[in-house]
């Protein structure tokens, strides 16, 4: 699964749009913000939709309101109510452009001052953290309101301001009464004095409870379901995820996984060898920019960074195609396919193209990749980025549904990659919003889609060729079980063990590739290399 950040520059010029289900790597169904008054009742936020009905109050600069909190509140509403993707709105180091600041002004009724570097970092931390800890924060709000009805009928903007204040007090350990004062001011100016009074009362009560170590936390008691609900609140995940991970991995590993998902993510940069850039060249750039990094121990073209993305963006390294943001777990999937110069490869669900671009860089200008995807807009982004990376000469994009294409086209290849649409349960540390957009019914639908796509992809593999099936999920039902079912339907394929292509620590007992977020400190990913008989 190619993470959206791998195309950060190309995407930054567009408003985030939800991908269509067939081409999406995560198959979430975000609601659209269109026609909805953001100050209306929040209880039906997931059902009622509509454009922002902006307030036209003063439209003047308000220098007293905390700009990072104002921007964060509007971003959070766009993510929760409008279906915007948190990784696009909240890319590390990428500040709000004119469009977003205009949106803030139209939503709140006033302008804030421009955000400086510190503000940008705070927006990133607050938006990402508030989304991750949403269930826990809402538990605190309900506990302090002493009334479920008050919470259910709370205005969206007021709810986001309360979440921000609680997150800053409980998780960021900011000076508590400064946090109270700033969020009260935002509520009063953006809503009304009474809203500010409510924020003041709830946040001050929270400060008192925190200082006396008496936060109203759920207790781990009762039957398995009750304990799962308590764990889901304490670690801020959906109950169904907690129950599923406890079933497959055990409680201790499930808790470790939730802790990982709630931690600040790190990112990897891939040197663009297709443009002649080596990792040593990339390291020189990072040294000059004074961005701290670690060399990847798994991939020779990759480095890891924890901070400094804003500096890298401003220096133009992504825009110029010197490097790409890509997790090593995705790079290892490409290693499993083993692209070589002169190969002809079919990438079945290519867009937005992180793996496509990496495979193209491995071809050294020789060979061809047919990049198929059902989403024309995302294919266009792939084409534009391929030009920046100087690998467009070996990439041909094909706008089609793979299932139709495979049945009506004679194209076949010795190497075929199916990076299938999946739940994205392996990338929850980066896609903070994804956990709230998934349910068990989604997984059942995805499993059927994955089966159909696997069957279609298999028809594109020449005798003696290779099919790599991959996901960015850690769920066995999307991974090993889909491969097992496929092999029963297609006895002409067999498992080609991954030990020749990826480090041994990523191997499963059956010879599949699997990256464990807790064990490997990477995104979770799975891939199987399958050989077709001659």
**Final residue of a structural domain among 300, 325, 350:** 325
224 assigned binding-site residue: no
The answer to whether residues 361 and 252 belong to one domain is no
Overall average pLDDT of the 210-224 stretch = 95
Catalytic member of 323, 348, 472, 494: 472
**Within-domain flag for 84:** yes
Strands (E), 332-385: 344-347, 368-373
Tens digits of per-residue pLDDT, 457-508? 999 999 999 999 999 999 999 999 999 999 999 999 999 999 999 999 999 9
Burial letters 124-145, b for 16+ CB under 10 A, else e: bbbbbbbbbbbbbbbbbbebbb
Q: 216: annotated binding-site residue?
A: no
- Phi, psi angle pair for 352, to nearest 5°: -80, -5
CA quadruple 464, 468, 469, 474: dihedral, nearest 10: 140
Write down which residue in 325, 343, 365 finishes a domain: 325
User: Domains in the chain: how many in total?
Assistant: 4
Q: Is the pLDDT of residue 290 over 80?
A: yes
* Of 321, 397, 294, the residue nearest 353 (C-alpha): 397
Same domain, 151 and 194: yes
CA distance 72 to 396: 40
Query: Kindly report the CA angle at 245 between 252 and 91, in degrees rounded to 5?
Result: 100
Q: What is the largest CA-CA distance in the chain?
A: 75
- The rounded distance, in Å, linking the Cα atoms of 240 and 219 is 18
Residue 392 inside a domain? The answer is: yes
3-state secondary structure of 121: helix
Residues 502 and 478 both lie in one domain? yes
Residues 392 and 297 in one domain: no
Condensed to tens digits (0 to 9), the pLDDT of residues 484-496 reads 999 999 999 999 9
Whether residue 13 is contained in a domain is answered as yes
d(CA 50, CA 37): 7
Cis peptide before 418 (omega within 30 of 0): no
Reply yes or no on whether the pLDDT at 33 is more than 60.
no
- Whether 21 shows a pLDDT value over 70: the answer reads no
For 243-252, 302-311, 340-349, 514-523, which range has the lowest pLDDT when averaged over its residues?
Answer: 302-311
Residues 67 and 139 in one domain: yes
| CATH assignment at residue 198 | 1.10.940.10
Residue 475 in marked binding region: no
> Which band of pLDDT confidence, cut at 50, 70 and 90, is reported for residue 81?
confident
- pLDDT tens figures, 48-59: 333 344 444 445
Element spanning 494, H or E? strand 493-495
Show which of 325, 356, 375 is a domain's final residue.
Answer: 325
**Residue 97: per-residue pLDDT:** 55
147-151, 225-229, 311-315, 451-455: segment of lowest average pLDDT = 147-151
Task: State residue 324's pLDDT score.
Answer: 97
Question: What does the alpha-carbon distance between residue 277 and residue 446 come to, in Å, rounded to a whole number?
Answer: 38
The predicted structure's pLDDT at residue 357 = 98
Scanning the structure block, which residue is given the tokens 């040593």?
A: 280
CA distance 15 to 35: 18
| Catalytic (active site) residue 472 | yes
State yes or no: 354 annotated in a binding site. Answer: yes
Q: Known binder of ligand: residue 355?
A: yes
Give the pLDDT of residue 30.
35
C-alpha Rg value of the chain to the nearest Å: 24
Mean pLDDT of the chain: 88
- Which position has the token pair 């996901």? 471
Percent of the chain at pLDDT > 70 equals 86
Question: Is residue 218 assigned to a domain?
Answer: no
Please give the Cα distance from 232 to 134 (Å, whole number): 11
Contact 474/524 with Cβ under 8 angstroms? yes
Based on the domain organization, do 88 and 202 belong to the same domain? Answer: yes
Same domain? For 156 and 191 the reply is yes
The neighbouring-strand residues paired with 258 are none
**Residue 278 maps to which CATH number?**
3.30.70.1170
**Domain co-membership, 159 together with 244:** no
pLDDT digits (tens, 9 = 90+) for 354-365: 999 999 999 999
Q: Per the structure block, which two tokens stand in for 107?
A: 């939503």
Q: Are residues 481 and 390 in the same domain?
A: yes
- Over 70: is that where the pLDDT of 108 sits? yes
292 and 421 together in one domain: no
CATH number of residue 352's parent domain: 3.40.50.150
- Which range of residues forms the domain containing residue 247? 224-261
Residue 401 marked as a ligand binder: yes
- Range in 32-46, 157-171, 400-414 the model is least confident about: 32-46
Query: Is there a domain that residue 369 lies in?
Result: yes
Helical axes 134-145 vs 117-132, angle rounded to 10°: 80
Confidence label for 105 from pLDDT (cuts 50, 70 and 90): confident
31 pLDDT more than 60: no
| 191 close to 157: Cβ distance less than 8 angstroms | yes
> What's the confidence (pLDDT) of residue 25?
40
Q: How far is Cα 484 from Cα 184, in angstroms, rounded to an integer?
A: 56
- pLDDT bracket for residue 263 (50, 70, 90): very high
The answer to whether position 389 is within a domain reads yes
Name the least confident of 141-150, 231-240, 366-375. 141-150
Is residue 192 assigned to a domain? Answer: yes
Domain presence at residue 144: yes
**179-198: burial string, b at 16+ Cβ within 10 Å, e else:** bbebbbbbbbbbbeeebbeb
Give the Cα separation of 199 and 161 in Å (integer): 8
pLDDT tens-digit profile of 161-209?
999 999 999 999 999 999 999 999 999 999 999 999 999 999 999 999 9
| Burial profile 385-414: b = 16 or more Cβ within 10 angstroms, e = fewer | bbebbbbbebbebbbbbbbebbeeeeeebe
Is 116 labeled as ligand-binding? no
Q: Is residue 274 domain-shared with residue 191, that is, in the same domain?
A: no
Angle at 150 between CA 229 and CA 127, to 5 degrees: 65
Question: Closest by alpha carbon to 419, among 350, 358, 467?
Answer: 350
The pLDDT value recorded for residue 114 is: 85
My answer on whether 69 and 165 are in the same domain is yes
In degrees and rounded to multiples of 5, residue 349 shows phi and psi of -130, 75
- Asked if residue 287 belongs to a known ligand binding site, the reply is no
349 carries a ligand binding annotation: yes
| 268 or 97, greater pLDDT | 268
> What SS3 state is found at 463?
strand
Dist CA 472 CA 455 (whole Å):
19
Residues 459, 411: Cα–Cα separation, whole Å: 9
């Amino acid at each position: 699964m190619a993470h959206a950040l791998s195309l950060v520059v190309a995407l930054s010029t567009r408003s985030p749009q939800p991908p269509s289900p067939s081409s999406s790597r995560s198959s979430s169904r975000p609601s659209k913000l269109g026609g909805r008054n953001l100050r209306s009742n929040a209880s039906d936020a997931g059902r009622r939709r509509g454009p922002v009905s902006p307030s036209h109050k003063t439209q003047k600069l308000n220098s007293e309101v905390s700009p990072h909190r104002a921007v964060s509140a509007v971003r959070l509403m766009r993510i929760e109510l409008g279906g915007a993707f948190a990784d696009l709105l909240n890319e590390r180091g990428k500040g709000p452009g004119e469009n977003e600041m205009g949106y803030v002004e139209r939503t709140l009724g006033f302008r804030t001052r421009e955000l400086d570097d510190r503000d940008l970092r705070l927006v990133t931390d607050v938006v990402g953290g508030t989304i991750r800890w949403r269930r826990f924060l809402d538990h605190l709000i309900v506990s302090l309101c002493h009334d479920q009805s008050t919470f259910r009928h709370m205005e969206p903007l007021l709810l986001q301001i309360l979440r921000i204040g609680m997150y800053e007090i409980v998780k960021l350990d900011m000076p508590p009464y400064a946090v109270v004062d700033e969020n009260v001011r935002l509520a009063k100016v953006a809503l009304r004095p009474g809203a500010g009074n409510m924020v003041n009362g709830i946040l001050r009560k929270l400060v008192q409870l925190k200082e006396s170590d008496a936060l109203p936390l759920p207790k781990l008691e009762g039957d398995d379901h009750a304990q799962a609900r308590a764990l889901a609140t304490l670690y801020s995940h959906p109950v169904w995820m907690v129950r599923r991970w406890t079933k497959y991995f055990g409680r201790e590993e499930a808790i470790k996984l939730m802790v990982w998902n709630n931690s600040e993510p790190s990112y990897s940069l891939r040197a663009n060898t297709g443009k002649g850039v080596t990792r040593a060249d990339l390291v020189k750039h990072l040294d000059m920019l004074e961005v701290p990094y670690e060399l990847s121990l798994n991939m020779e073209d990759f480095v890891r960074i924890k901070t400094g993305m804003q500096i890298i963006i401003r220096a133009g390294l992504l825009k110029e195609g010197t490097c790409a943001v890509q997790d090593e777990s995705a790079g290892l999937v490409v290693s499993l396919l083993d692209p070589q110069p002169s190969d002809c490869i079919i990438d079945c669900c290519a867009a937005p193209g992180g793996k496509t671009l990496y495979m193209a860089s491995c071809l050294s200008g020789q060979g061809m990749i047919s990049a198929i995807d059902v989403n024309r807009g995302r294919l266009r982004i792939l084409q534009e980025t391929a030009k920046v990376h100087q690998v467009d000469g070996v990439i041909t994009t094909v706008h089609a549904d793979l299932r139709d294409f495979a049945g009506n086209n004679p194209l076949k290849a010795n190497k075929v990659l199916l990076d299938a649409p999946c739940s994205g349960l392996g990338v929850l540390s980066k896609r903070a919003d994804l956990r709230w957009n998934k349910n068990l019914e989604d997984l059942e639908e995805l499993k059927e889609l994955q089966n159909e796509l696997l069957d279609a992809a298999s028809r594109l593999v020449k005798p003696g060729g290779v099919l790599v099936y991959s996901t960015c999920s850690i769920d066995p039902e999307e991974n090993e079980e889909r491969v097992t079912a496929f092999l029963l339907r297609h006895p002409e394929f067999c498992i080609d063990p991954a030990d020749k292509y990826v480090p041994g620590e990523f191997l499963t007992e059956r010879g599949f590739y699997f990256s464990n977020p807790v064990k490997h400190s990477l995104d979770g990913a799975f891939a199987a290399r399958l050989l077709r008989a001659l």
